[in-house]
């Protein structure tokens, strides 16, 4: 009997506002039994502290404690570890999501500047033809931001801006967060019950 290995996803969290989006995405993927390979930028850790009150001297230990008890598994990779598994196209993953994605990271991906593990992993998705989803969180947007998004979209990258909807009657901040995570999961055809769909 052949055992089926859990599917791998790469999740990146940058220094854009909206760290809770990335946290909820990880929780959801882990609850569904997926393996999550996580990369957090240095600015992302700063936003963890500013927005969520997370203070971690032992970053890997902190994450293992926070995300324990789920059926899926979390593998943390420091952003400077360019020798990590996810830096190679020979390591199989279903795709990568950067949520939230700063304009700096989006620009680096659009221009092939893979000088850390986050942008290298994204570059691997592009060169291997694997799904890459970016969730930019910035406003207002200027022409360079828009040109970089257009460039990536033409390469097949899915751009899902952090723009929650209101047609489903959200009652809380959690509802808005879950909507955005659900839209990301929809792009991978992953079943979920995170929000009420139009017409349901």
Whole-model pTM over 0.75:
yes
Interatomic CA distance for residues 5 and 12, integer angstroms? 22
Q: Which pLDDT band, with edges at 50, 70 and 90, does 4 fall under? A: low
Select from 50, 62, 132, 127 the least CA-distant residue to 97. Answer: 132
Q: How far apart are CA 39 and CA 76, in angstroms?
A: 6
Percent of the chain with pLDDT over 90: 90
What residue segments make up the domains of the chain, in order of their start?
A: 8-186
Separation of alpha carbons 76 and 56, rounded Å: 14
pLDDT, the chain, mean: 94
The CATH number assigned to the domain with range 8-186 reads 3.40.50.1950
Q: For the segment 119-153, what is each residue's pLDDT rounded down to a tens digit?
A: 999 999 999 999 999 999 999 999 999 999 999 99
What average pLDDT does the segment 157-175 reach?
A: 95
Q: What is the C-alpha separation between 165 and 102, in angstroms, rounded? A: 21
Vertex 118 angle, CA 147 and 51, to 5°: 85
pLDDT higher than threshold 60 for residue 26: yes
Confidence of residue 46 (pLDDT cuts 50, 70, 90): very high
The answer to whether residue 39 scores a pLDDT higher than 90 is: yes
Residue 132 contacts residue 125 (beta carbons within 8 Å):
yes
């Amino acid at each position: 009997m052949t055992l089926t290995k859990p599917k791998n996803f790469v999740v990146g969290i940058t220094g854009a506002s909206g760290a809770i989006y990335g946290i909820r995405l990880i929780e959801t993927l882990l609850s569904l039994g997926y393996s999550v390979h996580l990369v957090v930028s240095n600015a992302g850790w700063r936003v963890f502290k500013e927005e969520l009150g997370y203070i971690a001297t032992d970053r890997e230990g902190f994450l293992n404690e926070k995300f324990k008890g789920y059926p899926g598994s979390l593998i943390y990779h420091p952003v400077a570890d360019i020798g990590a598994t996810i830096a190679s196209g020979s390591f199989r993953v279903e795709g990568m999501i950067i949520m939230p994605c700063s304009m700096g990271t989006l620009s680096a991906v659009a221009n092939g500047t893979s000088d850390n593990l986050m942008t290298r992993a994204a570059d691997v998705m592009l060169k291997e033809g694997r799904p890459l989803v970016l969730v930019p969180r910035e406003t207002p947007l200027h022409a360079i931001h828009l040109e970089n998004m257009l460039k990536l979209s033409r390469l097949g990258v899915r751009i899902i801006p952090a723009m929650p909807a209101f047609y489903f009657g959200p009652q809380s901040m959690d509802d808005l967060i879950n909507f955005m995570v659900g839209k990301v999961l929809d792009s991978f055809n992953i079943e979920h019950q995170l929000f009420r769909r139009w017409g349901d």
